[in-house]
Amino acid sequence: MHNRKAVTLSLWNRVLAHARARRLFSDGDSILLAVSGGPDSAVMLDFFAGQARSHRLKLYICHINHTLRGRLADADAAFVKRAGAEYGIETVILSADIRALAKKTGTSIEHAARNARYRLLSETALKKKCGLVATAHHSDDHAETILLNLLRGTEPKGLLGIPVKRPLCAKGKNRVSLIRPLLAVSRSEIEVYLKANALPSRKDHTNDDEYYTRNWIRKTLLPLMLKKQPRLREHLCELSEKLSRALAKRRQAPF
């Protein structure tokens, strides 16, 4: 049995330290939270709700229904709507016909979903005057992305993994950045926090389908590698950090 207070403070402190070091958000910021309803975004939502008063944060929730899972996707949207109401946070529910978009653009379902997701998040952030959009990617996602890029073949920048913060969109003087505050914690830590705080969440069973390479990396490859080297996540994070600094120096170097 995990001590709720200890688990909560441990995760909050790690995420806050990470946020301060990377200057992810400041007191008084308006932040749009991308919430799918899954465990990761449920924990991110609970974290920001816990910080809102002390840091004077203005929070909004955005959920995007990709219309790929029929009634299950509708249930996810309803779940997020209820969660927003319970936290007292304004919630925007949007939808996109991903299959139609993929067919129209000649891209994969995953690529079309990603493009639609960030487009809708950008539009909503600008509409709500949010300078930040937060997604719930964690350190396992970061490691999986680096391995996925390696398997596909990549330029050096592909080894940077998931950026902690990057520009998302701009309109006139309004600029929106994308932040990943949970990159400081692992999937297992998120699961412990979820259980200790008895937070409800939704499960997307398509994440178990190993037909998709990322799922195979998550469920088969990464666990095997972690058995051999338990600190693999940390090593991959350190690699991407060193490479990021090296690439930055190269860009700054005179010709």
Q: Which residues contact 158 (CB under 8 A, 6 or more apart)?
A: 146, 149, 150, 152
Q: pLDDT per residue over 159-181, tens digit each?
A: 888 999 999 999 998 999 999 99
Q: Which residues contact 65 (CB under 8 A, 6 or more apart)?
A: 73, 74, 76, 77, 93, 94, 95, 96
Residue 228 has pLDDT above 70, yes or no: yes
Run of H or E including 62: strand 58-65
Closest by CA to 121, choosing from 53, 66, 46, is 66
pTM: 0.92
Q: What CATH number is given to the structural domain containing 68?
A: 3.40.50.620
**Which pLDDT belongs to residue 28?**
97
pLDDT band at 158 (very low <50, low <70, confident <90, very high): confident
In whole angstroms, how far apart are CA 207 and each of 174, 213, 226? 35, 11, 20
**Which pLDDT belongs to residue 254?**
63
Mean pLDDT over residues 196-224, rounded?
88
Look at 4-18, 89-103, 194-208 and tell me which has the smallest mean pLDDT.
194-208
Residue 238 has pLDDT above 90, yes or no: no
Q: Domain containing 22: what range?
A: 4-252
Q: pLDDT per residue over 31-51, tens digit each?
A: 999 999 999 999 999 999 999
**Mean pLDDT of the residues in the chain:** 92
Which residue is it, tokens 């490691």?
A: 143
pLDDT band at 61 (very low <50, low <70, confident <90, very high): very high
**Which pLDDT belongs to residue 49?**
98
Mean pLDDT over residues 100-118, rounded?
92
Mean pLDDT over residues 49-65, rounded?
97
**Which pLDDT belongs to residue 220?**
94
Distance between CA atoms of 94 and 3, rounded to whole angstroms?
37
Number of domains in the chain: 1
